[in-house]
Structure 1
Amino acid sequence: MAMDARMVVMLHVPDVIGTASWYAELGFTVHDIGRDGDEAVWALLSWRGAELTLSAGGHPPQHIRRSADLYIHTEDVDGLFDSMRNKAEVVEDPHDTFYGQREFILRDCNGFWITFGEPARKA
């Protein structure tokens, strides 16, 4: 019997509340924050159907790029970039890739890269 599966990305971050707030400023919805006593230990967020879980225990970035990135398939990459570019560090402006995507990359408050992409328009 085949079963459907769904994957949710989890990022380990040093500050769950601060990171959830940062993503909320970008347009993500914070659905829940789990606590262990007074400490926020996880959060569940979403953005247009994509889910993201934050978990306590991560470390501040020590390198320019972290060991995980987020890639979000979306629509209207250029319009989305216009609405986000002043809210985060821009790694790459919108561009067409050799593999047929139009995308841009932001760096989150913990150094993780977030790429938003859609199929590039054919010339």
Structure 2
Amino acid sequence: MAFNHLTPMLEVDNMDETIRFYEINLDFQCLDRVKNEWAVIQKDDVVIMFSNRTDKETSPETKLTGSLFIQSDDVDVLWQILKDKVDICNPIESLDHGMREFTIYDCNGYKLQFGQELDTN
């Protein structure tokens, strides 16, 4: 038995705003949508699904304790494109574990972390 891929499913309050954020800022494309209940977006090999939040009484805010990590082939160019357009969580930096990374917040407060392996040669 093999696992083929992982596609995160994130709950959102406003499907239109969420899809627009990813399309405008990150060049994703909405592949499919069912009203305000569900949507799937994609850019290159990265796929994310969204669902409408159904349990707002016991969970009043959207939350994810971690981040979505997206590898890029040119994180510095991506940083230049995004740094003045979105809310920054962590600015771009080269880290000891061999990655160059930065983290932003999407329109729901989810953390999107972008990274590229450093050339250690």
Normalised TM-score (structure 2) = 0.84
Partner residue, 1:103 = 101
Superposed displacement of residue 91, structure 1: 1.3
Alignment partner of 1:33 is 2:33: yes
Amino acid at match of 2:106: D
Matching residue's letter, 2:21: W
1:87 aligns with 2:115: no
The number of residues matched between the two structures is: 115
Please name the residue that 1:116 is paired with: 114
**Higher normalized strand content (fraction of residues):** 1
Match of 1:14 in 2: 13
Report the TM-score, using the length of structure 1 for normalisation. 0.83
Report the counterpart of residue 45 of structure 1 in structure 2.
41
Query: Structure 1 unaligned runs (5+)?
Result: none
* CA distance, structure 1, for counterparts of residue 76 and residue 6 of structure 2: 27
Q: Report if the CA contact (8 A) 1:13-1:60 is conserved.
A: no
Secondary structure in structure 1 of the residue aligned to 2:90: strand
Gaps of 5+ in 2: 55-59
1:80 Cα deviation from its structure 2 partner: 0.8
Aligned-residue RMSD, C-alpha = 1.9
* Contact 1:25/1:87, CA 8 A, preserved across alignment: no
1:74 maps to what in 2? 72
Query: One-letter code of the match for 1:78?
Result: D
